[in-house]
Every structure is written in C-alpha cells, then in structure tokens.
Structure 1
Amino acid sequence: MKPISVPLGIVKNPSLHQWLTFEKSGLITLHSGKVELGQGVEIALQQIACDALGIDPDQLEFEGGNTLQGPDEGHTAGSQSIDQGGHSVRMACLFARQIFMLAAADALCVAPEAIELERGIFSSSGSDKTCSYWSLLHRLDVRQSIGASSLMPSRRWVGQSISRPDFVQKLSGTGFIHDVSVPGMLHARMIRGSVGESVIDFVDVQAMACLPGVQHVVHSRDFLAVVGPDEAELVKATEKARSFVRFALKKSLTMASDMEALLLSLAGESSTVHQQGVRRDASVLHEARYSRPYIAHASIGPSCALAKWTHGQMEVWSHTQGVFPLRSDLAKAFDLSLDAVQVIHLHGSGCYGHNGADDVAFDAAFVSFKLGVPIRMQWSREDEMTASPLGAPSLVNIRAGVDSAGRICDWNLSLWSHSHLTRPGGAGVNLLGAWQVDGGSEKPVPADLPLPAGGGHRNAVALYDFAHQQVDYFFIPDATLRTSALRSLGSYVNLFAMESFMDEMAEKLSVDALDFRLQHLSDPRAVAVLERLAKVCGWRQQGEADGLHGLGLGFGRYKNVAGYCAVAALIRVEEIITVEKIWAVVDVGLVVNPDGLINQIEGGIIQSLSWTLKEQVNWDASGITSRTWAEYPIIAFSEIPEVEVHVIDRPECPSLGSGEVAAGPVPAAVGNALYRAIGIRARHLPLTPERLTQFILNSA
C-alpha cells in the first residue's frame, strides 16, 4: 500500500481549527498561509476546499495571511501555492468532511456510507432528518489533529473558470492596501539616499519639523521619516525636507563596463553543484556567455503598510509574501515576543518576489512605535526603485560538445551571481530599516538557496538528456546593490542561456532547432508541449528569413519539478524589436481554474518581455540613477503583443506550480527569433535599441 503523503503545511499546522472555522451559521471560513498577490490563488484554493467539503463557493469565506488565526505556510513563493498549499487545503477539508460525516451518521442513526452531502447539509434516504456542519459542531473537537481520509473530493468546482472575488473591490478603489485607513492614523514618508543603505551625513531635524504639513520627524541614526495628518501636504513637504539632509554611501559602488566585467571582478565562492554522467569525446565544440542585469520589481503601485502600536502590542497590515516570517523579524527587531506582534495580509498592487513590502512594514511599525499612533507609510516611486531589493545580475557560460551521432555528450554550465534570497524569516533580521536605527540589527550574511530549488542556479541543471552534465556556481556574497528574490530567481537567465545555446548548437550542426531539442528529451510531457507548440505556431511551415521577421522558441520546466512551458515568439526587427505574437503551451497537471492559469501565463509572458526588451537598473558613483519610469521604463500597454495560451490539462496528474513557468522560455524565444530575422545572436539582456545597434556594429 502506498504511504500517505502528508504535505508540509499539515505537518507544521496539524490542528483542524488552524485551517477551518465554523463560527458563522451557513458559512465556513478557510484559513490559509498562502496569500493573494494577484495570481488568483484565493479563488483556486476556495475551489479545492468546496469540492472537498461538499459546499458551494457562496458558503465559503477565505482569509489568507493572518498570524492571529491561520496556518504558518512560510512564504507565498516558488509557484507552490497550488501544488503544496492546495494539497494541504484538500487534506484538511477532506478530513473535516469525514469526521462530520461520521457525526452525521451517528446523529441520523444510519451507516456512514448512507450519508449524502449537499451544500453542507447531511442527509440520508433512510431518514427524514438532516443535520449540517454547523449543527454538528457541539459533537466534535475541531482542535483535533488532521489525519488521513478515505474520502475523495468531487470535481464540481475544480476545473471551472470561476471569477475572482477581489475584482469588484479593486475596480471600485477599495481592494488594495493603499485604500485602507484606520481611525486616528497619520501619514508617513521615508527620506533615504540614492541607495537604500545610505547613511546620514548631516540632517537638520528642526528645519524639517517647521515645514508645512509636517507634524513629527522621526530620526534614529540613518532612519529618517516625516509624519503628518494630510498625505498631499506631506508629499510636498518630503521633497522640501530633502534639502535639509545629506547622505553618504555606506560603501563605494563597484563600477564596470558591463555585467560580465562586473561579476568577474568580484570575489566569489566556487562549487560544483551538479555532476552527472561520464564525459565522452566530442567532435563539435561550442562555448558562449550570456548575462542579465540588475532588475527592479517595478510594481505600478509602490510599497505601503499600516501599523499600530498600543499597550505593548504591534499590529501590522502588509502586502508581504509571508506574514509569519515578517512577524518573526519584527519581533526580533523590536525585542518583542511573537505573541505581541500580529501581521495581517492585505492586497498589494502586484508582487513578484521580495519587494519593498517587508521593509515598508518595518518603517511603519518603527514610526508607530516611536509616536504611539497608527501610521500609514507609503513609499514613493523613487523609494521603490532605490530602496527595495533587486533581482540579482547573472553571468552564464556554457561549453558543450556533441558526439559523432550529433548528440550532446559533454555539457558544462558555469554561472556567477549573488543571493536571490534575503527575505525575512531566516537568520538575523532582513529588514532595511532595522539595520539603520540606533541599536538596530546587523545585516545578515547573504546566502543562497541550495538545489533542487536553487537561487541563482535555479534551472541551471538542464532537463535534456546529456551523457555528461556539470554545473559550477560562483556565488558572490557581496553585491554592489542589494538583491533578493525576483520572480523565477535564476531560472530566467539560466533558461535564456540554455535555450539560446541549444539553438546555436543546432545551427552549428545544420539541424532544426525543434528537432534538436526533441532529440535530447525523453520526458513525454516535455515532448508533448513542444510538439503542440510547433503545431499552433506553424513551426514546420515557416519559410525563409526575410531580414525583418523571425520566429523563435524557448522551453523549460520550472525548477525541473513544476510546470512545463514552451514559448514561440514572432518578432519584427527595425530600429527596435517589436514582438508581434507569442504562443505558449503549458502543462501544469490538474488545472484548478483555467482562466486563472491563463492569466498567470499571460502575465508572466508580459513581464518577461518587459525584462527582455527594456529593464535594467543603472547606477553611478553617487547611487542608483534609474529612479523613475523615465530612467526605468517597463513595457507599455501599446507594446504588448497578441498572446495565445494553450493548456494541456491532465486531470489525472497532481497540480504543478505555474506562476513562474513562462519567465525563462520568453527571452530565449525572442533572442532566437532575432537571430532568425537578421542573423544577430543576442546573448546579453536587455535587448534595447541601443544594445541592438551595438550587436549589429559588433557583427559587422
């Protein structure tokens, strides 16, 4: 008999009451440690719960991310909300249904197998009586530990495209944390230098306090905030206040001509993180290098938080990805017990990893702690671009050879990068403001996630069947700018490099790029997404290059354990690269909400296109210079291509993570399409008009 797989969420949170409460008649509240970041997880988890409980969506309320009531599931990250969070929800709800069904059988004096369930009402054809989840509560201990259930969920709601419940609030201006106010609150704004970790060289606090709109100035070593009752007046005052402070860099910023030169100039720690197979003699060798720059989160709405310090208790509202990890770091920063800190999740304006949400939560909490009043702290656009963690730059070198049969027999990938994971919840305190205040915390020593998940080396191990494969990681702890998790982590650049290299090898061997990939794949699901992609994008029907248009493809399986995604890009090359159409084929196993999945893939494609064509953080000796949309443009609505997503639904298979599967295949598809269009191989991102011109000049 196959052993029962108990998800980590249940192991860490074994009590039923942590997941489900029945306090309102006719309603069940589902508590989850996974939070809504715009990815549609809230409705998907509700669909899973409804099928397991035998109720309808209008009978279920969702509360995600509240440290006072709910399971600790760490961070909502890594495309794990459905395959792990959903697994936990399903197990908890099936167990609840089973114990309530047994109680119903006892109450109705019938055998358990005679019980029927509809909309939370238990009945039996052998009795004219009924009972419900709510009427049976007195018979059960809902604090008991969750165990295995012999029941199977129905498939009434899972697989349906049910609309998200948060749309109405967001469209009406009440759905975001930015829209929330609490009684008696004051507004606050931070004043920081051109990088988040700047130090204050001089400040005239009295002059700031005299500015119109400023009621308080909170200053503690390198932490500086202005506070007032009117947000608009405070924004004006903040700009004027900058003339009364002078910042200095905590350390000089390393300068270099490009990412390759920058990363190779820094000290790192080298290790072989993967080695498999035996090298064979190679007849054709090829080697190439690829890179990506620092990338900002660049959410359209800046980070925001609310905090209230009263009677020794800290209450914080945040759009963090992890309420429990944030609570842990706040408790350490303020020297409080965990019970003295409550963190409640509210929706932000899009979250793609470790952005400024946690830092602004500390900022709000510290000001409230100092003043004893509720505080609403919102960062400015400049704060967001200079103070929040960035996606780390990476350099990837691939060297490979093929045997006499044209198969890759020796594959060597080396990469250089910084930490992709400096979130709260680990050792020390990972909150910017906590490093800046008097008597504050020391900045923890950066580390990175090990494989199989990986940080900078996520997806650095190829899914392809190579006779020999080796991956070496040069981890560079000391980054020029602060880095942490950004959507897909190292997967974006590693798949860009890998999939570009596969095209280059196919070109050397005069083999079709799709056929070359299929030749090296034994995973039938990987083969299926590529073959479906070839069909929908007309890969086999494309004609000769016309010097203007190009069709390219990219493929990957996120983390080599999550969802599969193959992407084709049709581009037009003139002074700029215009992406005319994107096709994507995905396989994520059982699809909980098809519309939600397609939204996720579309969003991932658009963001990855923006990274690929436009985004790059710039700095000089004085600090970060890309502080506004003018210096850090993102893709415009007018530049978004037609996107066509095809889903291979496998209801017999477990659900796989989908939120980050498109990130890596997109730049590869665009880069490969560029080569097909004009014969220029682009290996360094982003593919801006200036860089495109440089590629052309270098190839002349």
Structure 2
Amino acid sequence: MGNEFDVSRRAFLRGGALVVTFSLLPIGRVLADTEVDTLGTVVLAPDLPGSLRTNPFLDAWVKIDSNGINVYTGKVELGTGVKTALLQIAAERLQVAPAAINFLTADTALTPNEGYTAGSHTIFDSGTALFNAAAQVRKLLMESAAHEWGVEPSSLKTNDGVIESASGQRMTYAQAVQGVDLHRYAEAEPIQARPSDYKLIGHSLQRLDIPAKVSGGAAFVQDMRLPEMLHARVIRPPRPNSTLESFDAQSIKSLPGVVQVIQDGNYLAVVARDEWQAIKAMRNGYALSRWSGGDVIPDAQHIHELLTRLPATRFPISHEGKPTLPSGPSFKAKVTKQYLMHGSIGPSCAVAWFKDGILTVWTHSQGVYPLRTGIAQMVGLPPERVRCIHAEGSGCYGHNGADDAAADAALIAMRMPGKPIRVQWMREQENLWEPYSSAMLTEVQANLDAKGKLQDWNYELWTTPHNERIVNAGRLIAARLIARPFKSAPSIPIAQPEGDGDRNAVPLYTVASTNIDMNFVTVMPFRTSAMRSLGAHINIFAIEACIDELAAKAGSDPVEFRLAHLADPRAKAVIKQARDAFGWPTKTNRPGAGVGFAFARYKNIMGYCAIAVELTVHPQTGEVEIERVVTAVDVGQIVSPDGLRNQVQGGIIQSASWTLYEAVDYDANGVRSYDWSGYPILRFPQLPSKVEVHLIDQPGQPFLGAAEIVQGPMAGAIGNAFANATGQRRLKLPLTRSSNVAHG
C-alpha cells in the first residue's frame, strides 16, 4: 500500500503539457440530433458501427505523433481483461506489436465519451469502434506514403509501424501521419480482413492488469499515494433521510492529526494526516452525532407483496400473437428474489485534488463522463474544469459506491484547495449505502397446445429501477445530504431490447403469443441500481424453470424440448455443444443428486450461453454441492480465448453465489448485512468441483460481448438441477435460504 501511484500514467505527453486535439461537433448539431444510445451518449453518426456512432472522429481513437502511437477507449478495466482485449484489436488492425501502443482508458481530458462500461458493451461497442478506426487509420497512413512516393497504396505493406514499398522505401507511421488529417469521420464501410490472417485477435495475450495485482504493486485506486495527501472519512446518517440534530465538531477537531471537520447540512466528514487518525476521528464523530427520523425500512418477509402496492408505471414489453383457449397442460408460478449487494471485496475509494482551478478525481467509476457531469453540478464548476480519471477498484460489476466515494472526495477537496484528498469507505458504509440490486417479483403462466408445443406465454414482473446511474448531482449521496441538496433525476427504465428489470423477460423460444408487462416501481424502500445482468438473472431463472416444467408435462427431454422451440441455428449449436460435452441425459443414483440445463441469449441480441449442471442437495442440511458445470458460449469473433474463458468462469461463480446464498438481511430496525457475517457469499469450499468451458468461435462475425451472458443461464441450470435432485421446484431466490415450494 505504500507504493507511489503514477499520477501522469494516463497522459500521453510524458514531458508534461496536456494537449487535447479532438473536438465535438458544434452544439447546434448535437442538440438537433436527439438520438441517444443505450449507455446515455449522443449518437452523431447512426450509420457507423459500435461506439463510432457516438464518437465518429478517427482521432478520438488513434493519434500518432513523434512520441508514438496513442490509442484511446472510453471503456474501463474492471478486472475482466477487456483492456488487454481492446489493445489486441487495435494492434491487430494497425499491424503493430501491442507494446508499441500507448493505450489509455477513460479519462475525461483525453479519451472519447463512451458512457458507461456496462451491459457487456465493451467489446461489442468499443472493440468494434477500434476494429474499424484502427484499420482506417492504417489505410490513410499507407495512402499518405503512396502519395509521397507516387505509387499505388495496394503495392505497399506495413511491418510494426513502418510502411514499406516494393523498391525498399521505408516510412514510419509518425512520418506518414504528417500528410494525413485524422480529424475526420470514420467511413461506414469496414475494411475487410481475413480472420485466418489474424496474429493477435483470437489468441491469448498476457493480461496487462495482472502483474501489479499479484505482486502487491499499485494496482488499484485504493493504492494511490500523492504528495502531501490527506485522508478523509465520512460519517453517514443511521439511515437515509435522517436529520442531523447535533454534532460536537470541536471535540473532533481537537483529536491528534485532525486538520478539518466538514459539516454541511446532513453531510459530515473528517480529514486527518494519516488514515488511522481519520478512522479514529470518524468513530468519535459517530459517537458525538445525534440524528432523528429517516426512511422506514420494510419487513423482508413482505417486500414482494409491498412491491405490488407501491406506485408504479406499467410498461408493455411484448404483446405478440393472439392468445387462444388452452388446449394442453399449463404451468403457473410466482418467482422472487431479494435485494442483493455488489459485495465488492474492497470498499469504495477515490482521490480528489483541487489545484489551479481544476478539480481532478481518480475514481473506479464505470462512467467517468457521467460522473464528471454530476460532480461539476454538485460543486458548482463548469464541466471542463472537472477531470475524472479511471483507476481500477478492487471489485465491482455494476453501480456500487464508486461514484459516491468520488463525490465525497470531490466535495472535501473543494474545501481544501491544493491538498490531495483520499476518501476510503469502510465495510459497513459500503454495505449500507451502496445501491442494491432490486428485489423482484415475477409471475409466469404458460401453456402447451395439444401437440406439446409452446402456446401462450404470460409474464408480469414488479421491480424498482436497475439504472440509477449518475445523470445529475442528485444521484450522488453527498449531493443529497448537503444543506442545499440536489434532487435525483426521475427514474427511467432502459428500453428493450436492452431492458431494465425486464432484461431477457421475452423468451427466445418460439411461442404462439406473448403477453409480457413490467411494473416499474419508483417509490423505493431501498436505493437500487445496476448490478451485473440487471433483471436477466431472475427472468432467465423463471423462464428456464417454466420450460423444464412444461417439457415434463409434454413428456419430453428438457434439452430436446428447447431445441424444438428454437429457430436460431447459433442458439441450437451452443445447446448441442453443452449437451454433448456434458453427456446429457445423465442419470445418477446418488441420494440428493440432480442435473439441470438452461439456455439464453443475453438480451436476445448478444452472446449465447448454454449450461448443464450436476449437483447434490444434502438431505440433512440442505447444503448444495456443485460437482460439475459444462457450458458452451458463442460471442461471435473471439478476441482472447483465455480472457473469454475467465469471464465465463467468473460468471458461473458469481451466479452460483447469487442463486444459492446471497440476500440483504433487513427488518424494521435496519439493514443487518453490514459485514460479511450478515451477507453470506460463496466461499472457496463451495466452488464447483469441475468447470468446463467450450468456446464456439465465429471468425469474422461481430463481437457480441461476454461479461454478462452467464448469470441467467447458470441460475436457471442450478434451479432445474435443484428441482431434479429434490423433486421440489423452489422459486424463491436464494434457493438455500428459502423453503417455499411452487406447484404448477
């Protein structure tokens, strides 16, 4: 933790001066074009692929000068390995070694605005943009050299950043760029390439982010140490919307090492010279503060009934076909999940520095540009005087406390100009104040026709928002607590086919009619927002349970039943691959043993995943032991097989933890899950004994994204294996903390 953090590591000019050369279009054009993509950024060029739609200029992605080749992405590394994969794509298309590229991620002073790193969009959007932009830059460089030499560009070749002619003439990329203006729109037509020629795409490179993590280096924002840096801790109310009645600030100021005590309305913070002094001051602050009121917390036992009574907006999701009178068997059930935490291993952290009129914030936010907007509004600075730089955090997929820790650091830094301020949340602050994944209720009723085919599919769900990302200052905790608080922007669900709580609520299977609706609840007993896969986790769990039950009523094997109701050949291929690799159907005579199968295409537009699971439910304890997991995935053209395999394995583990164990424990007295003893997650002894990942590569096909394709199918496969093992269909998540059994 004592390692120095390279403050300038994201600046491409090592000599010091910061030069930003790419610009946005005139504001009139931005305002005239109101199309916004699913991650919240303005679409400027709808005909371009990937994130080129929102950042169409080539020099937003690639700049070449005497200092070398600089490549930019607005996406961030969250521990998934995408930084390495994006570098592979750029290096492949520029035809240079990865080491020749200075690769920069998510810095509002340098990189394109790609909104949030979320929803499996990084390779899908940023990878696609780099795939096209880098190739077009290389083509322009070759044309520049060809013009200089008076030859045809097709006669030239490139080798590691050098253009060569048939006669032996040589020109570096840095020389060739002198005759090119890269501040131009990308072309809509991609430059074709033969996948068989790829030297980097489709191959596994060593991850860029791993060495510092395994060696104890400065890998995370938590490791940052700046000159004369001060340490801050926040003092939160006992519950949201409590009012501060009294606070003995003078007693805190007299403690050793304390240099500042901040009180602004209901916002309290302490600043000290070292971290332990800040912790002791914070503890004293909690003891010396008096609060009243606060939000009423509901009873966990009745939260799903409460969801149906709270104010909600009803959104039609899919109403296709004409319902008929049921002519065959049917299945009807209610499926529920409780609130989940992100459970980040390292509590959130940020560093802010207000110096020379510029507020710089280092943060593990998943969206530095939206965060900049919120912070600028909160502190009263123009956005151009706020710079947010991404630095990895030790654990998060979704909207945890990262943005709020950044807001804390920014607010405190503005009160103490010239001093870097490090804010580190404590475990209980992370658990009590991070946005949770919403509790949800779904009701499914589906039936078969007389021939055993899926007929009518009725599905209704109740959920609070899954997308309370930072769109204004009011979405930040600090901005809500200050004396002149900001109000959060209205809650708006993500439209289909991406979806919010309704993500993957529409089955990919062929059905005669659908009647699917979402009840979007905006008066929230808890603050909720994005967590990996959003509503797909429970929706796929519910769909796959229904499919298994209807397959049994039809007297059909559940895998064959799925295949009979799918038209997409790639969907069938992943199912067949997982089926064959697993050896389905598998019979076992061990007491409590069971097998289960599930399938989904993430959002019905992205990666495909099929999973088979073998597990044992111990009759005496109810403990679940996952013996074997076999999965097949198709995410289009594979960039890094090792990276993809790691993503799938991680998703399997995460989903198993959610599905079997995780739930926020709370009652009218408050949230009980303030530490790990109150929030059980999957431990090492509970890991699956064996995991097989089969990758179906699609050379030349679009990148589809991989990070969130597994969570839903793994939940469905576990649920089906649990039912197979016990003879009981449990539909309350998590399964090991539930006793209700549904009867169809």
Q: TM-score range by the shorter chain?
A: over 0.9
C-alpha separation in 2, matches of 1:174 and 1:254: 42
Cα shift readout 1:140-162 (whole Å, capped 9, x = no counterpart): 22333333567434511100011
- Equivalent pair of 2:235/2:282 in contact (CA under 8 Å): yes
**1:8: Cα distance to partner?**
5.3
Matches within 5 A, 1:216-231: 216-231=260-275
In structure 2, the residue matched to 1:656 is 704
Q: Measure the CA separation in 1 of the matches of 2:238 and 2:213.
A: 32
SS at match of 1:136: helix
Report the counterpart of residue 206 of structure 2 in structure 1: 163
Q: 2:694 aligns with which of 628, 646, 649?
A: 646
1:175 is paired with a residue whose SS is coil
Supply the distance in 2 between the matched residues of 1:495 and 1:150 (Cα, whole angstroms): 35
Matched, 1:48 2:89: yes
Verify: 1:145 aligned to 2:185, yes or no: yes
Secondary structure in 1 matching 2:169: strand
CA deviations 1:55-76 (Å, max 9, x no partner) are 1111112111011011111111
Q: 1:362 to 1:201 in 2, by over 3 A?
A: same
The aligned residue for residue 582 of structure 1 is 629
**What's the CA shift for 1:464?**
0.5
Match of 1:293 in 2: 338
Task: Sort the Cα spacing of 1:14 and 1:544 in 2 relative to 1 into closer, same or farther, 3 A.
Answer: closer
Tell me by how many angstroms 1:5 deviates.
4.5
Taking the aligned partners of 1:410 and 1:82, their CA distance within structure 2 comes to 36
1:128-175 CA distances to partner (integer Å, 9 max, x unpaired)?
320011122322223333335674345111000111111112222211
State the one-letter code of the partner of 2:183. R
Cα distance between partner residues in 2 of 1:8 and 1:592: 16
Does the 8 A contact of 2:240 with 2:294 survive in 1?
no
SS at match of 1:22: strand
User: After superposition, where does 1:582-661 map in structure 2 within 5 Å?
Assistant: 582-641=629-688, 642-661=690-709
Give the whole-Å Cα distance in 2 for the aligned partners of 1:465 and 1:406.
Answer: 13
Cα deviation, 1:333-391, whole Å, max 9, x if unaligned, reads 12221111111011111221111111110000000111222100011111110111111
**Is residue 2:729 matched to residue 1:686?**
no
Q: How far apart are residue 194 of structure 1 and its match?
A: 4.0
In structure 1, which of residues 380, 389, 411 is the aligned counterpart of residue 435 of structure 2? 389
Per the alignment, residue 28 of structure 2 pairs with: none
Q: Which residue does 1:523 correspond to in 2?
A: 568
CA distance in 2, matches of 1:469, 1:491: 18
Secondary structure class of the residue paired with 1:21: strand
- Letter of the 1:78 partner, please give it: G
Answer yes or no: is 1:561 the counterpart of 2:615. no
Distance 1:665 1:80 in 2: 19
1:661-699 alpha-carbon deviations (Å, 9 max, x no partner): 0010111111111111111111000122x42xx348x99
1:18 equivalent in structure 2: 60
Task: Indicate conservation of the 8 Å contact 2:731/2:740, yes or no.
Answer: no
> RMSD of aligned C-alpha atoms?
1.8
The aligned residue for residue 35 of structure 2 is none
Task: Compute the displacement of 1:281 (Å).
Answer: 2.6
Q: Using the TM superposition, give the Cα deviation of residue 653 of structure 1 relative to its aligned residue in structure 2, in angstroms.
A: 1.6
Range 387-396 or range 106-115, more displaced: 106-115
C-alpha separation between the residues in 1 aligned to 2:633 and 2:282? Answer: 47
Work out whether residues 239 and 294 of structure 2, in 8 Å CA contact, stay in contact via their aligned partners in 1: no
Q: Classify 1:463/1:448 alpha carbon distance in 2 versus 1 (closer, same or farther; 3 Å).
A: same
* Aligned AA (1:340): R
SS in structure 2 of the partner of residue 449 of structure 1: coil
- Answer yes or no: is the 8 Å Cα contact 2:65–2:177 preserved in 1: no
Residues 1:402 and 2:402 aligned together:
no
2:542 to 485, 489, 497: 497
Displacement, 1:447?
A: 2.3
Q: 1:505 to 1:399 in 2, by over 3 A?
A: same
Alignment pair present for 1:451 and 2:493: no
Tell me whether 1:73 sits opposite 2:121 in the alignment. Answer: no
Asked if the contact 2:237–2:266 (Cα under 8 Å) also holds between the matched residues in 1, the reply is: no
Taking the aligned partners of 1:121 and 1:459, their CA distance within structure 2 comes to 47
Question: 1: distance between equivalents of 2:581 and 2:472?
Answer: 48
User: Which letter does structure 2 place at the counterpart of 1:165?
Assistant: L
Q: How far apart are the structure 2 equivalents of 1:264 and 1:151? A: 52
Quote the offset at 1:116 in angstroms.
0.8
Distance 1:214 1:662, change over 3 A: same
Contact 1:122/1:131 (<8 A) preserved: yes
Counterpart Cα distance in 2 of 1:684 and 1:637: 24
Quote the residue 2:49 is aligned against.
7
In structure 1, how many angstroms separate the alpha carbons of the residues matched to 2:66 and 2:732? 57
Secondary structure of 2:735's aligned partner: coil
Q: Does 1:507 align with 2:555?
A: no
> Identity, % of aligned pairs?
38
Provide the rounded CA distance (Å) in 2 between the counterparts of 1:93 and 1:57.
13
Q: Which of the residues 371, 378, 382 maps onto 1:326?
A: 371
Contact 1:4–1:148 (8 Å) recurs in 2: no
Superposition deviation, residue 207 in structure 1: 2.0
Cα 1:659/1:186, change in 2 over 3 Å: same
Equivalences, count: 689
Contact 1:281-1:409 within 8 A present in 2 as well: no
- Deviating beyond 6 angstroms after TM superposition, the runs of 4 or more aligned structure 1 residues are none
1:398–1:58 CA distance, 2 compared to 1 (3 A): same
| Segment drifting more, 413-422 vs 184-193 | 184-193
Partner of 1:535: 580
Amino acid at match of 2:508: L
SS at match of 2:711: coil
Q: Which residue of 2 aligns with 1:39?
A: 80
SS in structure 2 of the partner of residue 134 of structure 1: helix
Change (3 A) 1:549 1:50: same
Alignment of 1:429-448 (within 5 A): 429-448=474-493
